[in-house]
Copies of this chain bind each other. A is one copy, B any other.
Amino acid sequence: MSLISPIAWTPNHGVRILDQTLLPGEERYLEITTVPGMAEAITALRVRGAPLIGIAAAMGVVQGVGPEGSGLSPDLDGVEAVHAASAVLRATRPTAVNLSWALGRMVERAERHGTGPGLRAALIAEADAIWAEDRAMCDRIGEAGLELVPDGATVLTHCNAGALATGGKGTALAPIYLAHERGRRVQVIVDETRPLLQGSRLTAWELQRAGIPYTVIADGMAASRLRRGDVAAVLVGADRIAANGDVANKIGTYGLALAARAAGVPFYVAAPRSTIDLRTPTGEHIPIEQRPPGELAELGGRRLTPEGAAAWNPAFDVTPASLITALITDHGLLPPSGLTERLG
């Protein structure tokens, strides 16, 4: 299986990233060798997906430190340069938890090592560790969800929670990739996921690369597709899971969960333990990011709405725990209830 890697080191420990804004039309890689270059790539969504952003930021910090362990700006020593890089990168996507967490690890590692020879190598090692842990997390989610994707299964997914969003096999797509690796025949139905089309642009593209058959549908087709009775399961990712099991995920997930329930199709949410936020009591306490109305107003330079049209454009919705069959986590399958007792 040719699983796409959206990020890589270059031989000199610059960072090669796949520019996800150009998919699926063009597969273009950028080589990033400066901190502002990585900040731009994250801000412009060239790298996206909370786990992948954390990895990219860690690799971006390395770009601020020279081979001798000094800062690349003449007035900063090595540790100061790491602090400065971290501040620039943290400001790119202020709400992404993984970003802040990964940068915190890089700063801590720099302070432990100190300015001087070996600092750059230590930072490279820390970024590699963050990446490796993410890859292992994806593998464990894949193992936990493997039983839900039997030979011959058709599964439905929403948005992109795959290799393009993580350092490994993804979250929702991990059980699908693992089933495919084990020789099971799997088919995937891909919601296009308006407005930003992460399903039709990104999930479709990475499944095609991996040789897994898929079919794209408009989001409004999912209810009638599920009703046909031949879909084994719905698998989606999560942006935050509250203590009571309510799940915030890409807008459209809640309606999809209602359609799955009406059709009697099990509905699974795949996410690492770190996505479960026990300090958030219920879904009502999860802040929902509102995005610019322009995402609904035009596409590729073509106007889709009249000039001056109002639009409502929340990035996420909340699916109540009662509609979720189970969580697929790096700690195994968990029921969406009793998370505090089990994990707190």
| Residues of A that sit less than 8 Å from B by CB | 24-25, 189, 191-195, 197, 200-201, 204-205, 208, 213-225, 227, 251-252, 254-256, 258-259, 262, 296-297, 299-314, 317-318
Contacts and interface: CB of A to CB of B under 8 A. Distances in A.
Given A24-B307, A216-B297, A219-B219, 16 more contacts: A189-B312, A192-B304, A192-B305, A213-B310, A215-B312, A216-B312, A218-B219, A218-B251, A218-B296, A218-B313, A221-B317, A223-B317, A224-B251, A224-B254, A300-B301, A301-B302
Which of A301, A307, A311, A314 counts the most B-chain CB atoms under 10 A from its CB? A311
Contacts of A217: 296, 311-313
A186 to B, nearest CB: 14
A14 to B, nearest CB: 28
A18 to B, nearest CB: 14
20 contacts: A24-B309, A191-B220, A192-B304, A194-B194, A197-B304, A208-B308, A216-B311, A217-B313, A218-B252, A220-B252, A221-B252, A221-B312, A222-B255, A225-B312, A255-B258, A258-B258, A299-B300, A300-B302, A301-B302, A302-B302
Question: Is chain A's interface secondary structure helix, strand, loop, or mixed overall?
Answer: mixed
Given A24-B303, A194-B194, A200-B309, A216 B314 contact: no
A87 to B, nearest CB: 35
Contacts of A303: 24-25
A194 B208 contact: no
Contacts of A258: 223, 255, 258-259, 262
Q: Which 6 A-B pairs have the closest CB atoms?
A: A220-B252, A300-B302, A223-B255, A224-B317, A194-B218, A219-B220
A323 to B, nearest CB: 9
A214 B311 CA distance: 8
Given A220-B255, A258-B262, A299 B296 contact: no
Contacts of A311: 215-217
Contacts of A312: 189, 215-217, 221, 225
Contacts of A301: 300, 302
Given A299-B302, A301-B300, A220 B194 contact: yes
B200 A304 contact: yes
